[in-house]
Amino acid sequence: MTAFAERLAAAVRQQKTPVVVGLDPRYENLPTSLQSVEQGQNPAHRASAYSAFCRGVIDVVAPLVPAIKPQAAFFEHLGPAGASALADVIRYARDRGLLVIVDGKRNDIGSTAAAYAQGYLGIASAWGADALTVNPYLGDDSLQPFIDTARANAAGVFVLVKTSNPGGGRFQDLVADGEPIYRHVARHVARLAAEDAAASGFGTAGAVVGATYPEQLAELRGIMPQSWLLIPGYGSQGGTARDVAAAFRSDGLGAIVNNSRGIIFAHRRAEYSERFGESRWQEAVEVATRQMIAELRSDTPAGAL
């Protein structure tokens, strides 16, 4: 099977956009037709509502974008029933040709990290994801099982480098040996990516870099020239197309930009709620997706795709 970095490049080129749709289901925000007054507190009901909702989003976005990013936390929030819904959503998305990046921010040490990696990465794994986000705090040896397993299964890894939250700098920005911690992490990711960069120029090791820090995006693009950057923080968190422009190579590859609430809960946004209402929520998803695609085409090198 073709390496993940190459499959991602092909999918971005085919859809002519780097937009990733984040699946962050929250029961209170679902269209009312999927909520139940009697069953609202039942985790099994909530999980099946999450499945139905995410399938509905996938039906809309599969022809438009290269990948989706389910957020493990919102599924795990429901307990085991949520885990089943997550597996269902991953399978449904893959069957429709989408790449699936599970946002789990997992990590542990040694053989425990390997258990996570083997459980999530690759079509033959239990969860069957194409890629997983991982946390670097436990060190380089904790990242290695993810990289090794990803390479063996044509899957990808996105290492948290610089996160989009206001307090992300609390430890990431501490300066050691003249460089902030996030840059130490970035240099390690860059070395890993260089080890197996393929035709597109990208390797297995990607990075998560928040849209909310535009200068650091440019800096990190430079430090990790062979890494795909997964960029959260667009839209609801304040990141704009101009903010993320520096994350791309001139050919429009190299970065994928996630939007969760701004797309999946578009029916709740002021500009769409009146136009579509609750019942036409899927049309709101489509319009919001197309709008973000247009923004990135107009204001970033993604226009060259």
> 177: which 2 tokens?
């040996």
User: Going by DSSP bridges, is the β-strand pair 229-231/175-176 parallel, antiparallel, or unpaired?
Assistant: unpaired
Q: How far apart are CA 299 and CA 295, in angstroms?
A: 6
Can you tell me which residue has the tokens 């789990």?
104
The residue within the footprint of its own copies, chosen from 1, 123, 124, 126 (CB under 8 A), is 126
Q: What are the C-alpha distances in Å from 80 to residues 43, 48, 85, 129?
A: 9, 12, 9, 18
Q: How many residues bind its own copies (CB under 8 A)?
A: 61
Q: Minimum distance from CB of 169 to its own copies (Å)?
A: 7
Residue 200 in contact with residue 256, Cβ under 8 Å? no
Q: State which of positions 156-185 bind its own copies (CB under 8 A).
A: 160, 163-172, 174-177, 181, 184-185
The yes-or-no answer on residue 105 being catalytic is yes
Using CA atoms, how far residue 249 sits from 18, 27, 208, 270, in Å, is 12, 38, 16, 34
Among the candidate windows 8-16, 56-64, 81-89, 241-249, which touches its own copies by CB under 8 A?
81-89
Q: Smallest gap, in angstroms, from Cβ of residue 80 to its own copies?
A: 4
Applying CB under 8 A, which of residues 5, 24, 257, 301 lies at the interface with its own copies? 24
- Rounded to a whole number of angstroms, the minimum distance from the CB of residue 161 to its own copies is 10
How near is the Cβ of 6 to its own copies at its closest, in Å?
26
Q: Pick from 107, 200, 204, 300 the residue near its own copies by CB under 8 A.
A: 107
| Out of 10, 52, 83, 198, the residue judged to bind its own copies by CB under 8 A | 83
In the bound state with its own copies, the residue whose beta carbon lies nearer, of 73 and 294, is 73
Using the rule CB under 8 A, is 38 a contact of its own copies? no
Region near its own copies per CB under 8 A, out of 11-19, 31-39, 62-70, 108-116:
108-116
Beta strands in 71-119 (DSSP E): 99-106
Binding residues for its own copies, rule: CB under 8 A, are 24, 26, 43, 71, 73-74, 76-80, 82-84, 86-87, 103, 105-113, 115-116, 118-120, 125-127, 135-142, 160, 163-172, 174-177, 181, 184-185, 188
Query: Which amino acids are annotated catalytic?
Result: 105
